[in-house]
Amino acid sequence: MTQDVLYTTFWSQKTRVPPPEVGWLDQEQARAQFGKGDLQVVDAVHRDADGLARPRWIIGLGTSGRVRVRFFDEHTTLWRLVDWDNVEGRLWRWITYDYTYASTDQQWSEKDSVLTEKASVQSDGTGYVVSVDKSTSPGRRHKTEFTDRASDAYWLDYPQFGEWAVLAQPGPSAYEVAGREAPARVS
């Protein structure tokens, strides 16, 4: 029987396992790490022929109370990253990154993305969205600021141990978070 999630304090996107000196944590160890705010929760529903997890998402809980959720495609390429800020014990969807690559048929590192879109929204409704298109030389950068985006939909109660489903949803894109349409792309 395989687990639907695995726990560690460090997970490698390249190898898809923690380093040997870190290893996997059992449920009791993971619960203790959750209390310290130093835990990586690895989606392990899908596995390759060698039994290695092919995660759709990784939830990282930090000692500051912030949470980072990374979303992957079937090649373990990062396509979305969401940072949740801990504001008075609740989570605020603070930063959303979207990554686009030259193709979808292989594994890529986020530094190889041809387009990166980042939206940052503060709980007072102010923020910005930045688009960096590296497919042109030099890369094009477009930034839009806004002041009217606060929404109750960006708040979450901090989950209890094991309640990962609420964080495991990719949610809206960077431009949708910012309430804006993506700028036209130049071919």
Give the model's pLDDT for residue 91. Answer: 95
Q: What is the mean pLDDT of each run of 10 residues along the chain (187 residues)?
A: 83 90 94 93 93 94 95 94 94 94 91 92 87 84 82 87 94 77 47
Element (H, E) at 174: helix 174-178
Give the model's pLDDT for residue 184. Answer: 46
- Tell me, what DSSP letter sits at residue 138? S
Q: What is the pTM of this model?
A: 0.90
What residues are paired with 132 via a beta bridge?
Answer: 116, 141
Give the model's pLDDT for residue 135. Answer: 85
Task: Provide the pairing of β-strand 78-87 with 67-72.
Answer: antiparallel
Please report how many Cα atoms fall inside a 13 Å half-sphere around the Cα of residue 136, on the Cβ side. Answer: 10
Give the model's pLDDT for residue 149. Answer: 72
Give the model's pLDDT for residue 159. Answer: 93
